[in-house]
Structure 1
Amino acid sequence: MRKAYIDNIRWATVWLVLIYHVCYMFNGVGILGGIPGAENIPAFDTAAAMVYPWFMVLLLLLAGMSARYSLSKRTGGQFIRERAVKLLVPSTLGLFVIHWITGYLNIKMGGGLNFIPAPLVYPISAISGIGPLWFIQTLFLFSCVLVLLKKLDGRDRLWELCGRCGLPMIILLALPIFVAAQVLNMPVLTMYRFGIYFVAFLIGYFVFSHDGVQEKVERARVPMLCAAAVCAVVYAFQYHRTDYTSPDCLQSVITNLYLWFTVLAIIGFAKRYMDRETDLTRYMSSSSFGVYILHYPVLLAICYVICTYFSFPAICNYLLALVIAMVLTPLAYELIRRIPVIRWLVLGRRK
């Protein structure tokens, strides 16, 4: 059961992730992983801070909805086998094909090549080159747990109960989102926020996969946008020019209210205005997974070359990195998807 607006939100968010990572590469708020010594423009840090709290929560919620539609046509075993090829293979074996580039450049920029023995550089680069692939690793884990939950609730009673949620209850789901933001957060590797992402995935599966819930959110899209705008102002005022990936920011009440109202507003407006397909949107939907997988090593290599071999003004660094990455990433996808074996290892696609 494919819904055009879900696909459209997904590909648009994937491209937003690429744009965010351009800002992240040159960030000036102390977030590790960017280009050392790169000249920074504070306005772009503010833009990155405004999308960071909600865009991965949105993707996990959409993934939960899609998992529900997928499991309605497959057995649990079929579902896991498909997810293993699509998610687990690219995020494990694929590291040794292309994502070692991410690990190698990070090691090089951090000075690690000075003390890592030469024979170990490639395997360490591959293992440390996960980058944004944490998302699909996490999604595979959540999919396995979901199959177990589905077996425990074989008659779908919980799913049917969640379909009765009215708008007040949908808004109050901000509470479990807030509570989940406090738990199961990995130290150092702050992108692994298992608590909030798993709860978002379950909310997508049990609640937002119902047409009735989606319609209620659509009807309330304008109030949700207004609430999101108010929360955005408070959030921006409170965390301006700070590390927006820190626990203090991500676990606060205002951050989680802001992210939840933003997610509701996006779903409501997308269902109203983006529930249609064109040749362009079909291509963007079909290529978005590949763009997500490939964009980071492509972008990191571009930023490294720009900052190492050229001395452009800061604004040129941002714009060049963005434009070149937006061109080269789809080209890399089109090339890799045509190469047997490599396409399976990197994209999890047999055909």
Structure 2
Amino acid sequence: MKSLLIVAGEYSSHVYAEKIIELIGYKINIFYVSPFLSEQVQTKILLNGLSEIGFGNLPNRIAKALNFKKQILELVRTERIENALLIDFPGFNLPLAKSLKKNNSKVFYFIAPKFWIWNYKRVEQLKNFTDCVFSIFPFENEILKKENVKSLYCGNVSKILVEDFKTKPKDIDLLILAGSREAEVKNFFNKFDITKILKSVKFQISALEHLKEFYPNTENLNFGNSLELLARSKKAIVTSGTATLETALLGIPQVVVYDPNWLTFQIGKNILKIPFVALPNILLKKKVVPELLSEDFSTENVLKSLEEINLSNSILVKDELADLLGNQNPFKIVANELLVSLT
């Protein structure tokens, strides 16, 4: 039986990995590496403390990354693993891909780094250090092919994940999605004062169990499925990331916020190749959802923007995005490609 290393360094990557593992079944011997425990296979190495954003505390994070990389390469050597599926998490996974290729491993990459926003040189890394990139955006796949990167558009993960949640009753006035990383959650609640809305609207905070210590002490925390909560919501405040696309695909009016640390923002605003941070705006090449970044992100500005957004525009945005992304199921396509290649 062939062996496959799967590295999923963040919560969203872990969710995607679990779906792929389920579809693969027991036809491939899987070695799983993640900060999270799989419900289907043993997690061989726990990647704790690597998913922070920005440029803060770099020396400690670099040391951790090098140590984990060493552990993974030792696992590959001792278990004679010849194939790897690396999911997103490019700051860690791209250097790992380079090392794996030096060991003659076959490397598949699912969810490419957003080189079309910044750091275009990563295209060359994908070309040199991967055997196939499973792309989740049609235009991204076209760019990769033009650059002679072996790439396959497999459909968009958000488009598929929201399908089961489109008909929920709207019983939440406002949903807050503060992010999926510790720094994002901390930054959000440092800037947004929930006491300003406690008595005025029925709101919920979509919370993650592994970050529970960083949320405010309120009965409005909800640790349920974030997509189900979104589908039940009339409006949302969303930290920039994949959740902005999920919100748009559900037709929910949203205000997008983002507050990186000062150094990250100063560097980022000088190197970004596009004028937006929200995925709906990036994909449609126009501002279809409001963005409040850095110093513009305040409780007052968010509440004002919430009053101005409307449902009819959100429905139009949803339809445009659905047409753009198509109906392919990325989890099935990735699993099938792996099975064909490795069995």
Q: Same fold (TM over 0.5)?
A: no
Higher relative contact order, structure no. (Cα contacts within 8 Å, ≥ 6 residues apart): 1
> TM-score under structure 2 normalisation?
0.23
Bigger strand fraction: 2
> TM-score under structure 1 normalisation?
0.23
Bigger helix fraction: 1
